[in-house]
Amino acid sequence: MNAGVVIGVLALQGDVREHLYALAEADVVARPIRRPEELIGLDGLVIPGGESTTMSKLAIEFGLLVPIQSMIADGLPVYGSCAGMIMLSTEVLDGRPDQRSFGGIDMTVRRNAFGRQVDSFEAAVTLNGVDGGAFHAVFIRAPWVERVGESVEVLGRVEEGEGAGRIVAVRQRNLLATAFHPELTGDLRVHRYFVDMVRCGRDKGARDKGARDKGARDKGARETVKG
C-alpha cells in the first residue's frame, strides 16, 4: 500500500529502534540516518525521543543540523516525539544556552515541563483527525507547548490529571510533533497518520524532493568540509 515510501529515523541518540519498528509495522521502508548523505532520497524523517541537548550537540558534530533545517524549509515531512518535538520547535524554554533545534514549527516548548520530579506518567490524549478514541499516552520527562503561532494546528491536549489542558500534539503543514511516545506503546495510529502526511507530500510531485535532496547534498558537503 505504501510502496516505495522511505522514511528515515535520526539515529544519533534516543529510541531509534522503536521508531524503526513502528514504521516498518506501518508498511514503509524505514532506515536509520547518521550522515548527511543518508538524507538523500528520503520521503520523510522521524526525530526520536531521547535527550534534545545531546541530540543537538551530535547533530552539529555529524553535520546534520543545517541540511535537516534546509530540508524542513523545503517541505520534508518530519515527525518528532518528545525530544523530537523540542528539536522541531522554534523556541525552547529551560534548555541549555548552546542547545540548537531544527526549528520549523512556530511554537515555544518548555523542556521537562511536567515537573522534574515526575519522570514519567501516562494520560489520555485524543488527537484531532485520528480515529479510534483517546491515546494511552506515555510521557517521559516530557515538554509541553506554551505558545503556538497562527499557522500551527493544535491536535491534542492532556485530558486529565495535573497537566490537564496542556498542548502535547501539534501540526504545522509538513511537520508533526507529540510530547508523548507512541513508539513505546504499540499504538501505530500516530505513525500511520504521519505516513499519510508523507504520502500526500509525495503526491505533490518529485520536484520538491529534488530540491530537498540538492539542499542536503550542498549543505551536507559544505558542513562536512568545515569539519
Q: Shortest approach of ligand GLN to residue 214 CB, angstroms?
A: 31
Q: Shortest approach of ligand GLN to residue 211 CB, angstroms?
A: 30
User: Which residue of the set 18, 19, 181, 191 is catalytic?
Assistant: 181
Cβ nearer to ligand GLN, comparing 33 with 47: 47
Q: Binding residues for ligand GLN, per CB under 6 A?
A: 49-52, 82-83, 86, 111-112, 140-141
Cβ nearer to ligand GLN, comparing 2 with 52: 52
From start to end of the chain, where are the E strands? 6-10, 29-33, 44-47, 78-81, 89-93, 105-110, 120-125, 135-140, 144-148, 153-157, 167-172, 175-178
Q: Shortest approach of ligand GLN to residue 101 CB, angstroms?
A: 10
User: Which residue of the set 82, 91, 136, 191 is catalytic?
Assistant: 82
> What is the Cα–Cα distance from 43 to 201, expressed in whole angstroms?
8
Per-residue DSSP letter, 13: S
Grid coordinates belonging to 120: 514519567
Q: Shortest approach of ligand GLN to residue 46 CB, angstroms?
A: 13
Q: b vs e for 16-40, b when ≥16 Cβ sit within 10 Å of the residue's Cβ? A: bebbbbbbeebebebeebeebebbb
Q: Shortest approach of ligand GLN to residue 111 CB, angstroms?
A: 4
Per-residue DSSP letter, 203: H
Say which residue the cell 495510529 belongs to.
189
User: Which residue of the set 61, 146, 160, 183 is catalytic?
Assistant: 183
Question: How do 144-148 and 6-10 pair as beta strands?
Answer: unpaired
> What is the Cα–Cα distance from 151 to 143, expressed in whole angstroms?
20
Cβ nearer to ligand GLN, comparing 80 with 201: 80
Our answer to whether residue 153 is catalytic in this structure is: no
Cβ nearer to ligand GLN, comparing 89 with 174: 89
Our answer to whether residue 19 is catalytic in this structure is: no
The number of residues in the chain equals 227
Cβ nearer to ligand GLN, comparing 54 with 126: 54
Q: Which of 96, 30, 91, 37 is nearest to 64 (CA)?
A: 37
Catalytic residue numbers read 82, 181, 183
